[in-house]
Amino acid sequence: MTVTYLKKATRTAHSDEGDVRDAVAAMLAAIDAEGEAAVRRFSREFDKWEGEIVLSDAARQAAIARVPDKTKDDIRFAHANIARFAEAQKATVLDCSIEVIPGLMAGQKQIPVEAAGCYVPGGRYSHIASAIMTITTARVAGVRHVVACSPPRPGFGIPPEIVFAMDLCGADVILNLGGVQGVAAMANGLFGLPKADVLAGPGNQYVAEAKRILYGRVGIDMFAGPTDSMILADESADAEFIANDLIGQAEHGYNSPVWLATTSAALAEAVMARVPDLIEALPEPNRSSARAAWADYAEVILCGDAEEMAGVADTYAPEHLHVQAADLDWWLGRLQAYGSLFLGEETTVAFGDKTSGPNHVLPTSGAARYTGGLSVHKFMKTVTWQRATRAAARDLGVVTARISRKEGMEGHARSADVRLARFFPGETFDLAPAED
């Protein structure tokens, strides 16, 4: 059986990619040339912010004091889970060494970057969880200096609950900055800060484009587009769960794709029948976002069997992949392309987005074909080292000289030659490459 689309998207995540590159490039060039003055100008223009850029300790503590204890406890719960998972990730990558040949030791070390910049989105929603995900992960990785920024609300600043999360998770400095100007301030080391070695965190298309242009000058977590989610379900799945899970992800934005692949036509019809009421029951702006995402970007796909569903998932490579079907262990072993996998109806993507532990900064728009999400490894460098004895240098030198000459790199060859002559005086070596 070939897959059948019961609902087909009229747009994709790439359909509305505006040509923002020129605008972002112009802003970055202005910031490179003018520094903090340009950042302040863009902050006034886009954030409508006239206040301090670097959040003072007094303002930080005042914001924290406004956060209810119940909210603080909830943030602490999420932080503990996310930190625990990040610590387990870090334990999987170790320093090591090996004697490659007698007398030649080589190894690897894990070194965290010195400084990280964490972007926490603002706008429609207060993204508390994004602050926890990025800052906590950088800290667990061992980053020495962490800067966080988020769009300030006009006349108010960053929401207090985000400030509390930033403080709890270990942000050294908090910037009242959003958009391109926030990303550039961290990358360029403005306002007395160290230049970020790595930029991390989700954002809108302008933030994503700024990170894309800056990549190379700094490291980034990934290129990110609109969030997307897929559910794989068989006849045992609950239509109410699935409909709620799809709409819960569609509320991210008008261009956030959600997909259902199922082997049950009856389940598909039940989900499609339930979705409109769930959308209309949402408050604004969530309702408008979910309505547009469902109308233009959502798909419902009927498959012949589990293997066909798995093939669809591997092709789409979704950011979030949720299996609500029998034999979860089979799915865990079979699926190959996703940002994060959620197994069973007891699990939901919303848990991963907010509190459960694995990071919610994930590859979108099919990028899960070649990369995973944000982890401690994004803030660390795996570097190598080697040390040879003079005895080991004998064979290394001879072969290096011959390969170098075969390549035409005489300078490399002579670096080997001089050591052979010094370490083994009186010996004659065959240092010429083989004739063709």
Q: What is the DSSP string of 71-84?
A: HHHHHHHHHHHHHH
Specify burial of residue 49 (Cβ count, 10 A radius: 0-12, 13-18, 19+). Answer: buried
Task: Check 161, 251, 299, 320 and give the catalytic one.
Answer: 320
Q: Which of 241, 149, 259 is nearest to 193 (CA)?
A: 149
Output the CA angle 415-421-422, nearest 5 degrees.
Answer: 90
- Does the annotation place 353 within a ligand binding site? yes
- Does the annotation place 127 within a ligand binding site? no
- Does the annotation place 336 within a ligand binding site? no
- Does the annotation place 215 within a ligand binding site? no
- Does the annotation place 205 within a ligand binding site? no
> What are the b/e assignments for 80-106, b being 16+ CB within 10 Å?
ebbbebbeebbeeeeeeeeeeeebbee
Residues β-bridged to residue 145: 115
Task: Give the dihedral of Cα atoms 100, 101, 104, 105; nearest 10 deg.
Answer: 30
Task: Check 319, 322, 345, 377 and give the catalytic one.
Answer: 319
Does the annotation mark 320 as catalytic?
yes
Structure token pair of residue 90: 């870090």
Specify burial of residue 14 (Cβ count, 10 A radius: 0-12, 13-18, 19+). Answer: exposed
Does the annotation mark 114 as catalytic?
no
Task: Give the dihedral of Cα atoms 216, 217, 218, 224; nearest 10 deg.
Answer: -50
- Does the annotation place 227 within a ligand binding site? yes
- Does the annotation place 252 within a ligand binding site? yes
CA gap 347, 345 in Å, rounded: 5
Catalytic residue list = 319-320
Residues making up the annotated binding site are 119, 181, 204, 227, 249, 252, 320, 353, 407, 412
Residues making up the annotated binding site for NAD(+) are 119, 181, 204
Residues making up the annotated binding site for Zn(2+) are 249, 252, 353, 412
